[in-house]
Amino acid sequence: MIELAAKTGTLTVGELLAEAISVFQNTGCVRPRFEAEYLLQAALGLNKVTLFLSSKKIVAPEDIVCYQGMLDRRLACEPLQYIAGEVEFWSRNFLVTPDVLIPRQETEFVLEQVLFLAGQQPDVCRRVLDMGTGSGIIAAVLADELSCQVIAVDSSPSALKVASTNINAHHLQTRVSFVCSDLFTAVSRSQQFDIIVSNPPYVAEAEKDNLHPEVTVYEPFSALFAGPDGLDCYRHLIPGSYEYLRPGGWLCLEIGAHQGPAIIKMLEGNGYLDVAILSDYAGQPRFAQGKKE
Ligand SMILES: C[S@@+](CC[C@H](N)C(=O)[O-])C[C@H]1O[C@@H](n2cnc3c(N)ncnc32)[C@H](O)[C@@H]1O
């Protein structure tokens, strides 16, 4: 617990920031200034520029209390994004809570590939399914960029609430609908999709002890882990998707960096054509695609 509140009424924004940076430095934080600024922006509702321009302003007592609460949560290893309650993804802001995975940059690469495939047949892509929508980032970006209808599926009702809030905030409620379902079990059989995209849980349970507590303590287990080798979800998702794709439709998957060979085998073994694994800008093979005949 840090004691900023005792200085209520006397601290300027700049002084408050300096105190927080020093607290983070003393605890061995690797990015003390970045983290202190990130949280102060969230506490005061400012951006980087307005925070800088406000450095000589006295901070309101309630804002100091709010900031102190945020710093205490961070010192307990809670991810910055949950504390701030939002994250920037695809240059848009999305609500995040501990009910959903914090969106990762790798997923932007997945979306770029999906948009590329959709762009090959611009008049054809009308219906997309986002399996394991979480915060709804994939559904929101695709509904907006492709002006298509998206069914966003998740087995977690609380994740779907977050996704729905995000879809409403981006004014996409006429394009995105939600289904609470364990994979395809509650998705109507009569539906055929042009693209099914998924960033499913894919971490091997055996990896749990190697992950940072920021991830294992705070992010939802069901969003991360998929059995002993991390492939359990793909084992059902890959054959299941084939039934729901129209002929010529694409299955697009985010995958773990070491899962490419196993995923190729599953896609080919289930009849998909044009199977490929693509590497992201960090050179990691993180995207898999396969087409229904
Ligand atoms: C890795 S997170 C991805 C969230 C979001 N799409 C993203 O890219 O940030 C996986 C999501 O799949 C959901 N999920 C896990 N198992 C599922 C299942 N059997 N059926 C449907 N959704 C599932 C989790 O609740 C979680 O929201």
> Quick check: 237 and 132 in contact, CB under 8 A?
no
Domain that holds residue 67: 5-76
| Residue 27 banded pLDDT, cuts 50, 70, 90 | very high
Is 268 contained in some domain? yes
Could you report how far apart the first and last alpha carbons of the chain are, in Å?
60
When the pLDDT of each residue in the chain is averaged and rounded to a whole number, the result is 95
Task: Report if residue 285 sits inside a domain.
Answer: yes
Helix (H) or strand (E) holding 135: none
Q: Which of 26, 47, 76 is the last residue of a domain?
A: 76
Give the mean model confidence (pLDDT) for residues 200-223: 95
Within-domain flag for 81: no
H-type alpha helices, the chain: 13-26, 32-44, 48-53, 61-75, 80-84, 106-120, 137-146, 157-169, 213-216, 221-224, 232-244, 260-269
Question: What confidence category does residue 210 fall into, taking pLDDT thresholds of 50, 70 and 90?
Answer: very high
174 and 228 share one domain: yes
CB 133 less than 6 A from any atom of ligand 1 = yes
Over range 33-60, report the average pLDDT: 96
**Same-domain status, 181 and 119:** yes
Same-domain pairing of 18 and 106: no
Q: Look at residue 196 and give its three-state secondary structure.
A: strand
- Give the residue from 13, 43, 76 where a domain finishes: 76
What's residue 124's pLDDT? 77
Kindly state whether residue 85 falls inside one of the protein's structural domains.
no
> Residue 272 C-alpha to ligand 1 middle, in angstroms?
23
Does position 5 have pLDDT exceeding 60, yes or no?
A: no
> Which CATH number covers residue 33?
1.10.8
On whether residue 89 sits in a domain, the answer given is: no
Q: How many folded domains does the chain comprise?
A: 2
Quick one: 39 and 104 in the same domain?
Answer: no
**CATH number of the domain encompassing residue 120:** 3.40.50.150
Question: 118 and 65 in one domain?
Answer: no
Q: Is 252 in the pocket of ligand 1 (CB under 6 A)?
A: no
pLDDT band of 1, cuts 50, 70, 90 = very low
| Whether residue 124 sits in one domain with residue 44 | no
> Is the domain of 243 the same as that of 133?
yes
Pocket test for ligand 1, best of 187, 199, 205, 218 (most atoms within 8 A of CB): 199
pTM over 0.85, yes/no: yes
CA of 246 to the centre of ligand 1 (A): 23
- Same domain, residue pair 68 and 118: no
Q: Which of 76, 110, 131 is the last residue of a domain?
A: 76
Q: Are residues 103 and 14 in the same domain?
A: no
Q: Are residues 220 and 110 in the same domain?
A: yes
Confidence of residue 121 (pLDDT cuts 50, 70, 90): confident
Ligand 1 within 6 A of 199 CB? yes
Q: Which residue has the higher pLDDT, 118 or 121?
A: 118
| Minimum CA distance residue for ligand 1 atom 2 | 223
38 within a domain of the structure (yes/no): yes
Residue 9: is its pLDDT beyond 90?
no
Q: Which two tokens stand for residue 175?
A: 């394009």
* 103-122 average pLDDT score: 94
Assess whether 105 and 66 both reside in one domain.
no
Q: What is the mean pLDDT of residues 18-42?
A: 95
Tell me, yes or no, whether 142 and 223 share the same domain.
Answer: yes
Cβ density class 11-42: b for 16+ within 10 Å, e for less: bebebbbebbbebbeeeebeebeebbbbbbeb
- Is residue 2 over pLDDT 60? no
pLDDT in tens, 233-292: 999 999 999 999 999 999 999 999 999 999 999 999 999 999 999 999 999 999 999 999
